[in-house]
Amino acid sequence: MRQKRWSTEFLISQSAANLSALSVEDDLALVVRCQKGELVAFNELVGRHRQKAFAMIYQMVRNEEDARDIAQEGFVKAWRSIARFRGESAFGTWLHRIMSNVAIDWLRRRTGVSAGEFDDTKGLQEAAAGARTVPQAVLAAPERLSDAEVRERIDEALGRLSSEHRIVIVLREMHGYEYQEIADQCGCSLGTVMSRLFYARKKLQNLLRDVYENL
Amino acid sequence: MKTFEEKYTAWVDGRLSGKELQAFEQEVEGMEAAESDRREVHQLGALLRSHAAGGGLPVLEPVVEFDRAVLDQITASERGWRQAPGSWSSGWLALAGAACLAVAAAGYALLVPKAAVPVPYFAEITSVRAADPSIFATAIQDPSGQVTVLWIDGLDYLPDTYKLR
């Protein structure tokens, strides 16, 4: 890939100046320009995909500052790898995989286990038993929650999952990944993904039953 | 062999069919309760998807700073790549390797002492010094070391005090 030294100021001004021209280009056309070394085109792609990437990473790491740093790292990786992008999937899908990979790596590098994390062994005893007989629903008062309250409850519930369980829930339930894709990204077996999904769902069912039953 | 958790997840997501499905349905105690649980899991999924799609997530701000940071990191990393050996082309690497070999060979030739090579001549001159500058002394030694000849020019005679050192 042709490499040029660009000034950030120049790139941002160029990006603004070319906005109208760029906006009519689809992602693939911008990718082709990126593959020729045009960082201005990449800047446009960053603009188009940053919010989605940030949101997905935030769901996994639960911290805005960290999500921002990870998203930046993901975009840098995307730029370095863009020469290998062959257009077999949409650019957004390709970028999404890079972002989730970076987030998973980041979570792996973190040491220590937070108090809210979910213990698999404990889950096995509680959820597996419940799964065969199906856990009793804890009936909450039929009180309709506001959107803000729902968001808060979901955020809180996701935050109480272990990072491993959160990853599979975010990728599977929120972003529609297949089991095998999740296994590839996490570097674990298909069975492990399905098992983690089982426990994560059970945990969330217990935490959010009153929310989804009263919507 | 799949665990119960794996089979249950596959069943909830509609991934079991044929004999696998039949076997699972026989294994589960109380299919009605399980069906109810599956509906719950689907409700949960719908809730999470609406949360992901809706505006319930924090917004990345300010975007200009974010874009600037991304571009700064890219330009910095590319400068690093240009300086790093990893970015050298194979031609440059080959040239650098050859240069290193040449330097090593030259150093070896200059610094490593050579093994004694037999002198092909009859004799060799050893260090000889005469006290009087008008006198020239030459020493000739047989390579076998058995005979040494001292030849002195400029002396009418050899004084007693003149010692061979």
Proportion of chain A above pLDDT 70, given as a percent: 73
Q: What is the pLDDT, as a whole number, of residue B94? A: 81
Question: A199 with A118: CB under 8 angstroms?
Answer: yes
Tell the residue number behind the tokens 């700064």, with chain if given. B72
What is A120-213's CATH number, 3.40.50.720, 1.10.10.10, 2.20.25.240, 3.30.1130.10? 1.10.10.10
Q: Which of B5, B41, B75 sits opposite A195 (nearest CB)?
A: B5
Chain B contact for A145 (CB, 8 A cutoff): no
Chain A: residue nearest B5 by CA?
A195
Query: Where are the domains positioned within chain B?
Result: 4-53, 63-111, 119-165
Interface contact B10-A50, CB threshold 8 A: no
**Confidence class for position A137, pLDDT limits 50, 70, 90:** very low
pLDDT the model gives residue A20: 46
Which residues on B lie below 8 Å from A191 (Cβ)?
Answer: 2-3, 6
Sort out which chain B residues have CB atoms less than 8 A from A43's CB and list them: 67, 70-71
> Are A212 and B5 an interchain contact pair (Cβ–Cβ within 8 Å)?
no
Residue numbers in A near B51 (CB within 8 A)? 150-151, 154, 174
- The Cα of A38 is separated from the nearest Cα of chain B by a number of Å equal to 12
For residue B80, give the DSSP letter: H
Helix (H, G, I), strand (E, B) or coil at A114: coil
Residue of A175, A169, A174 lying closest to A200 (CA atoms): A169
Confidence of residue A161 (pLDDT cuts 50, 70, 90): very high
In this predicted model, what pLDDT tens digit does every residue of A40-91 receive, in sequence order? 999 999 999 999 899 999 989 988 999 999 999 999 999 999 999 988 888 9
Do A3 and B82 count as a contact with CB atoms less than 8 A apart?
Answer: yes
Residue pLDDT, tens place only, A139-158: 444 567 788 888 889 989 99
Contacts of B39 in chain A (CB under 8 A): none
**Confidence label for A1 from pLDDT (cuts 50, 70 and 90):** very low
Residues 73-132 of A with CB under 8 A from B: 73, 75-76, 79-80, 128, 131-132
CA distance B92 to A184: 37
3-state DSSP call for residue A154? helix
**CB-based contact, A68 to chain B, within 8 Å:** yes
Residue ranges per structural domain of chain A = 8-109, 120-213
Chain B residue numbers touching A198 (CB-CB < 8 A) = 5-6, 8-9
Nearest CA in chain A to B63: A47
CB atoms under 10 Å from CB of A24, counted, come to 7
Mean pLDDT of B72-100: 73
Q: pLDDT at position A114, please?
A: 42
pLDDT at residue A168 in the model: 94
Please state the φ and ψ torsions of residue B161, each to the nearest 5 degrees: -80, -10
Asked if the Cβ–Cβ distance from A137 to B30 is below 8 Å, we say no
Q: Note the maximum CA span of chain A.
A: 64
Where residue B90 falls among pLDDT bands split at 50, 70, 90?
low
Which of B46, B63, B74 lies nearest to residue A79, judging by beta carbons?
A: B74
The size of chain B, in residues, is 165
B62 — pLDDT class (breaks 50, 70, 90): confident
Query: In this structure, what are the phi and psi dihedrals at residue A118, rounded to the nearest 5 degrees?
Result: -100, 130
Residue among B60, B144, B137, B96 at smallest CA distance from A51: B60
pLDDT at A213: 87
Give the pLDDT confidence score for residue A25 in this predicted structure: 72
Question: Which of the residue ranges A155-159, B18-22, B156-160 would you say has the lowest mean pLDDT?
Answer: B156-160
pTM over 0.80: no
Provide the ipTM.
0.71
Chain A CB contacts of B66 below 8 Å: 46, 50, 68, 71-72
User: Considering only alpha carbons, which residue of chain A is nearest residue B34?
Assistant: A134
Considering the four listed CATH numbers 1.10.3720.10, 1.10.490.10, 3.30.70.270, 1.10.1740.10, the one that applies to the domain covering A8-109 is 1.10.1740.10
Residue listed under structure tokens 């056309």: A29
Average pLDDT, chain A: 80
From first CA to last CA, the distance across chain B in angstroms is 97
Model confidence band, residue B88 (pLDDT cutoffs 50, 70, 90): low
What is the pLDDT at residue B125?
Answer: 58
**What is the distance in angstroms between the Cα of B35 and the nearest Cα belonging to chain A?**
9
Task: Tell which wins on pLDDT, A116 or A93.
Answer: A93
Non-local CB neighbours of A42 within 8 Å, separated by 6+ positions: A30, A34, A79, A82, B74
